Structure 1
Amino acid sequence: MTAKILQETSLRYFLEVVRCGSIAEASVKLNVASSAISRQIAHLESNLNVLLFERKTRGMKPTSAGEILAAYALKLQLDSERVYNEINALKGLDKGNIKISCSTGFSLDFLPTVIAKFQNDYSGIQVLLHADSGKNVIQQLKDGVADIGVTFNHVPQSDISVLHRLNAPIYLIVPPQHELAERKSVSLPILSTIRLALPPKGIVLRDVFDVRCSHQGGVIEPIFNSNAMSAILSYVLSGGATLSTELVLKSYLNRGILKAVPLKDNILNNALSIEVCKLSGRILPDASRVFLEYLYDALTADDSTITEQS
């Protein structure tokens, strides 16, 4: 066991359950899926090798170990708020702009939500979000057009720094009424029997999927192709299906509008990673550095594993 398991997200969820007395109520307060909170608490208990709660019919009560951790978590939260306020007072972020370039999928739901939350606290900061292919996202960083890039895994380049990276398993995304919505997992051959919508060839997710299918000796052709994620989303909401990472459609999944069904394929479960990038050696403006904290918090909110790099 190491102190690294006491991550901010896990402790924040844990502390809210202590305050609320139940995961369901904490889910409402945090606006986070109950399953994500349960995973974080289970992760803490597993790594600390101790029960943190007594599970009761009408709620959850912290054990002695839980009370010790709750006291630590509260102190950490208060210290963090103090440091944040002190730094924020020095920054005085009431003007400025942030230029973000992202792979198209992130512009549909995830990044606009993060930006709105950021601007609730920094209403004077203007944000420019440009959606493009992963290749063009990297080029925009090199050209100085973008401060921050958010994309799926790209070919490593010496002049691009990956600030944060997390694994992004690929799921089958369907509406709740879909015939496969209640499956625990689905194998690739099943995808050839449904109304599958995918982005065009040349998009990382599509290319990874096509290569995997070819390695298994087959080709699965979608019956609907579009380079607009919004069009694919509308198609899925009308009864179709697509492949995506959970983060791209996070709020739709949390609200139960869509369901994510795991693929029974370890290769595709580990084929994609989400990367936050910048131009190597570039010192980001204060506004961009503060925004990154909001972005990292959103990226780790559903128990994703983050790896920091220099």
Structure 2
Amino acid sequence: MNHLRFLRYVDEVARVGSIRQAAERLHVAPSAVNRRIQDLEEELGTPIFERLPRGMRLTAAGELFVSYIRSRNAELDSVRSQIEELKGRRRGTVRIVASQALAPAYMPGAVASFRRAHPLVAFEVIIGDHLQALEALRAFDVDLALVFNLPPEADLETIAHFDQPLVALMHHSHPLAGRPQLYLRDCADYPVVLPDRDIGGRQLLERFMMRSSVKLRPMVESNSFEFLRGCLYYQHAISFQIAIGAVTDGGALVTRQIEDRHFPRGKLVLASLRHRQLPVIAHAFAQHIQQTLGPQEA
């Protein structure tokens, strides 16, 4: 299947915008990459790249051609997966994009438990927000997305969604950790550390506070959940996280439900690209996710 290898040259140049960088990633000579691109352009009768002083950029024809390459590769992955299934072996690579909240605990556990039953399966996991998830699905970089509050789109197929409450996260020695009931106004008396405004949980909290008299003024904002957890060890700080991402660091941290009426909840959405036939192994992992996360929201 040498022709597929040559198509990969085009895809890699499109991704990195450089023949030299693509050649390094592909472990081939830059001249070989350039020659194959020229051969394809001659066969198609039109340029697929603009040659710029600092790299390569797809032409309109090139955009169409790369879309064809990626969809064809996705179909080939599906066929390969079905062939392995016929042989009685579940193998291949599951490619998934997941929310940052799932990175510390849920995704490693789900991957490990799936691989115990299917040890020949490999994983490529991208951590990103809903915008990165949409981009990765549409570029055929991943088979599945498991992302918090992924918005509905015409080209997306929602496989399942799971209710996720927003909870307070704090050190076990925090004065509020032992309270029988906790309200948002109680948290306002302590330093608050929050995810930045691009994070779904922060957006839920902001929308709730717009309707509430309670205002939280964060002393720290960050796009790193790991950093925010570290802040909870100092100055009686409090953070907020969706329940599945509220990692307690072996009991050092505790989660608390907020009792305010209508305190926000969101959805963890499992999705794929509509009308795309998933590889057998990706479909099996989607089923595994549904089993590990329990009944989906009605």
Amino acid in structure 1 at the alignment position of 2:242: T
Within 1, Cα distance between the matches of 2:293 and 2:240? 19
Shift of 1:130: 0.5
SS in 1 for 2:262: helix
Matched, 1:223 2:219: yes
Deviations 1:53-103 (A, max 9, x none): xxxxxxxxxxxxxxxxxxxxxxxxxxxxxxxxxxx9856345310111012
Q: 1:258 to 1:218 in 2, by over 3 A?
A: closer
Q: How does 1:208-287 map to 2 (within 5 A)?
A: 208-238=204-234, 240-249=237-246, 252=248, 255-270=250-265, 272-287=266-281
Structure 2 residue ranges without an equivalent (≥5): 1-83
Q: 1:237 to 1:117 in 2, by over 3 A?
A: farther
Within 1, Cα distance between the matches of 2:150 and 2:284? 25
Q: How does 1:25-104 map to 2 (within 5 A)?
A: 92-104=88-100
| Counterpart contact for 2:95–2:141, Cα < 8 Å | yes
Within 2, Cα distance between the matches of 1:126 and 1:161? 24
Counterpart position of 2:145:
149
2:169 to 161, 166, 173: 173
Deviations 1:233-269 (A, max 9, x none): 222245532111221136x38x534322111223234
Within 1, Cα distance between the matches of 2:168 and 2:297? 25
Normalised by the size of structure 1, how large is the TM-score? 0.63
Amino acid in structure 2 at the alignment position of 1:212: F
| Counterpart contact for 2:168–2:255, Cα < 8 Å | yes
| Counterpart contact for 1:210–1:219, Cα < 8 Å | no
Within 2, Cα distance between the matches of 1:199 and 1:117? 29
SS in 1 for 2:136: helix
Shift of 1:281: 1.2
Structure 1 residue ranges without an equivalent (≥5): 1-87
Q: How many residues are aligned here?
A: 214
Within 2, Cα distance between the matches of 1:105 and 1:157? 22
Q: 1:293 to 1:217 in 2, by over 3 A?
A: same
Shift of 1:155: 2.5
Larger Rg: 2
Deviations 1:130-189 (A, max 9, x none): 111122112211221111101111321111111111211111112222211122332222
Amino acid in structure 2 at the alignment position of 1:139: E
